[in-house]
Chains A and B, each alone.
Chain A
Amino acid sequence: MEEPQITEELIAAHGLKPDEYAEILRLLNREPTFTELGIFSAMWNEHCSYKSSKKWLRTLPTEGPQVICGPGENAGIVDIGDGQAVVFKMESHNHPSYIEPYQGAATGVGGILRDVFTMGARPIAAMNSLSFGETSHPKTRQLVNGVVEGIGGYGNCFGVPTVGGEVRFHPAYNGNCLVNAFAAGLINTDSIFYCAASGVGMPVVYLGAKTGRDGVGGATMASAEFDDTIEEKRPTVQVGDPFTEKRLMEATLELMASGAVISIQDMGAAGLTCSAVEMGDKGHLGIRLDLENVPQRETHMTAYEMMLSESQERMLMVLKPEKEAEARAIFDKWDLDFAIVGETIAEDRFLIMHNGDCKADLPLSKLSSSAPEYDRPWVETPAAAPLADVPAIDAIEGLRALIGSPNYGAKQWVYEQYDTQVMADTIRTPGLGAGVVRVHGTDKAVAFTSDVTPRYVKANPFEGGKQAVAEAYRNLTAVGAKPLATTDNLNFGNPEKPEIMGQFVGAIKGIGAAVAALDMPIVSGNVSLYNETDGKGILPTPTIGAVGLLASQDDLIAGVAQDGQIALLVGDTAGHLGQSALLAEMFGREDGDAPHVDLDVERRNGDFIRANAALIGACTDLGDGGLALAAFEMAEAGNVGVTLDADDTPTLFGEDQARYLLACNFDQAEALIAAAGQAGVPVTTVGKFGGDAIRYGASEAPLAQLRDTYRGAFAAAIA
Chain B
Amino acid sequence: MRAAVIQFPGSNCDRDMVVALNAVAGNEKTQLVWHKETSLPEGLDLVAIPGGFSFGDYLRCGAIAARSPIARALVQFAERGGYVLGVCNGFQVLTETGLLPGALMRNANLKYICKPVPLVVQTTDSDFTRAYEAGQTVTVPIAHHDGNYNADAGTLARLNGDDRVAFRYGDNPNGSAEDIAGVLSANRRVLGMMPHPERASEPAHGGTDGAALFKSLAGAMALA
Contact = CB atoms under 8 A, between A and B. Distances in A.
Contact of B16 (A417, A424, A427): A424
Nearest to A152: B112
Contacts of A152: 112
B56 A335 contact: no
Contacts of B19: 424
A421 interface: yes
A420 interface: yes
Contacts of B168: none
B80 interface: no
Interface in B79-118: 111-115
B26 interface: no
Nearest to B52: A159
B113 A417 contact: yes
B77 interface: no
Interface in B138-167: 141, 143, 145
B206 interface: yes
A157 interface: yes
Nearest to A423: B16
A243 B56 contact: yes
B198 interface: yes
B215 interface: no
A422 interface: yes
Contact of A417 (B13, B52, B56, B112): B112
Nearest to A445: B204
Contacts of B199: 421, 424
Nearest to B196: A421
A246 B199 CA distance: 21
Nearest to B141: A421
Given A157-B57, A241-B56, A422-B16, A417 B204 contact: no
A416 interface: yes
A419 B121 CA distance: 24
Q: In which size bucket is the chain A interface?
A: 20 to 34
A112 B10 CA distance: 19
A57 B188 CA distance: 63
B208 interface: no
A221 B93 CA distance: 42
Given A424-B205, A429-B206, A419 B52 contact: no
Residue among A243, A333, A417, A429 with the highest chain B CB neighbour number at 10 A: A243
A423 B9 contact: no
A149 B110 CA distance: 10
Contacts of A158: 12
Contacts of B53: 156-157, 159, 242-243, 246
Interface in A536-558: 553
Contacts of B204: 427, 438, 553
A44 to B, nearest CB: 36
Nearest to B198: A424
B56 A416 contact: no
A423 B15 contact: yes
A416 B109 CA distance: 12
A551 to B, nearest CB: 16
A418 interface: yes
Nearest to A556: B204
A21 B111 CA distance: 49
B213 to A, nearest CB: 14
A243 B9 contact: yes
Given A242-B56, A243-B58, A421-B143, A334 B111 contact: no
Nearest to A153: B112
Given A421-B199, A427-B206, A429-B206, A246 B12 contact: yes
A418 B144 CA distance: 9
Contacts of B111: 149, 417
A247 interface: yes
A241 B53 CA distance: 12
A416 B198 contact: no
Interface in A254-300: none
A419 B114 contact: yes
Contacts of A246: 9-10, 12, 53
Nearest to A334: B9
B109 to A, nearest CB: 10
B55 A418 contact: no
A418 B51 CA distance: 15
Nearest to A412: B115
Interface string B1-34: 0000000011011011001100000000000001
Interface string A395-425: 0000000000000000010011111111110
Contacts of B52: 157, 159
Contacts of A423: 12, 15-16
Nearest to A157: B53
Interface in A606-664: none
Contacts of A335: 9
B56 A157 contact: yes
Interface in A136-166: 149, 152-153, 156-159
Interface string A456-472: 00000000000000000
Contacts of A334: 9
Of the candidates A156, A333, A418, the one having the most CB atoms from chain B within 10 angstroms of its own CB is A156
Given A157-B10, A158-B12, A420 B58 contact: no
A429 B15 CA distance: 20
B58 to A, nearest CB: 7
A416 B113 contact: yes
Contacts of B201: 424
A159 B12 contact: yes
Contacts of A419: 112, 114, 143
A492 to B, nearest CB: 33
B112 A156 contact: yes
A335 B115 CA distance: 33
B16 to A, nearest CB: 4
A247 B10 contact: yes
Interface in B32-80: 34, 36, 51-53, 55-58
Contacts of A241: 56
Nearest to A335: B9
Among A157, A244, A333, A415, max chain B CB count under 10 A is at A157
Interface in B167-186: none
Interface string A421-453: 111100101000000001000000000000000
Most buried by A among B13, B57, B114: B114
A416 B115 contact: yes
A418 B13 CA distance: 15
Contacts of A427: 204-206
A146 B130 CA distance: 43
A295 B52 CA distance: 28
Contact of A243 (B34, B55, B206): B55
Contacts of A242: 53, 56
Nearest to B34: A333
Contacts of B205: 421, 424, 427
Nearest to B114: A419
Interface string A230-260: 0000000000011110110010000000000
A250 B201 CA distance: 26
A556 to B, nearest CB: 9
Nearest to B201: A424
Contacts of A417: 111-114
Given A424-B20, A427-B206, 9 more contacts: A149-B112, A156-B114, A157-B10, A157-B53, A159-B53, A246-B10, A415-B114, A416-B113, A421-B199
Interface of A: 149, 152-153, 156-159, 241-244, 246-247, 250, 333-335, 412, 415-424, 427, 429, 438, 553
17 contacts: A153-B112, A156-B112, A157-B52, A159-B53, A242-B53, A243-B53, A243-B58, A246-B9, A246-B10, A250-B9, A333-B34, A412-B115, A416-B115, A420-B114, A424-B13, A424-B199, A427-B206
